[in-house]
Amino acid sequence: MLAGMQRKDFVRLENIQWHGVQINEPDWENLDSSFIAVSLISDKASTECQIALGDIYIGFNSGNVSVIASLPEPPTGMSWHRIADTSLPFPQYFQEHGLFLNFAEGETRTYHIQPYSSILLEARTLAEI
């Protein structure tokens, strides 16, 4: 799980994408904005790890209303899996093996993020489950 985080240099500037509720549109100038998300893009060319590395998406909602955040496309052959959602009760808020988020072909990928909560998603192949 989260194998890409075990590397010494897992985060480089070219591997970071910031988001607001829309993909690649962080709302840096809005002082009232209560949502920010980041994608950590896996280095697919890395030879340090022999398993398929998926991207990671982390969203933070510090506001008192829920937001519907657009999710980036996962890498080819992978799907988003929910690892953590702090709005869920114990023990559902964390799932080591992730919960597959099923989106229909062509469906807009979004996630409903509750007030005062955060989520952690990892792109995985179905074979990794």
> What number of other Cβ atoms are within 10 A of residue 25's Cβ?
11
d(CA 38, CA 16): 7
User: Can you tell me the mean pLDDT for 99-104?
Assistant: 84
Predicted local distance difference test score (pLDDT) of residue 105: 77
Q: Give yes or no for residue 52 having a pLDDT over 70.
A: no
d(CA 101, CA 64): 25
Predicted local distance difference test score (pLDDT) of residue 87: 97
Domains and CATH numbers, the chain: 3-128 (2.60.40.1180)
List the strands of the sheet with 56-61, edge to edge: 16-19, 35-40, 56-61, 117-124, 79-85, 94-100
CA distances from 4 to 7, 15, 85 (A): 6, 11, 20
Q: What is the pLDDT of residues 63-77, one digit of tens each?
A: 999 999 999 999 988
User: Given pLDDT bands bounded at 50, 70 and 90, which one contains residue 106?
Assistant: confident
Predicted local distance difference test score (pLDDT) of residue 48: 55
Predicted local distance difference test score (pLDDT) of residue 103: 83
Residue 49, both tokens: 């790890």
Q: Give yes or no for residue 89 having a pLDDT over 80.
A: yes
Cis (ω within 30 of 0) for the bond into 89? no
Q: What is the pLDDT of residues 1-51, one digit of tens each?
A: 455 455 566 578 889 999 999 999 999 999 999 999 999 998 765 555 555
Which residue type occupies 120? L
Distance of CA 28 to the CA centre of its chain: 19
User: Can you tell me the mean pLDDT for 106-116?
Assistant: 92
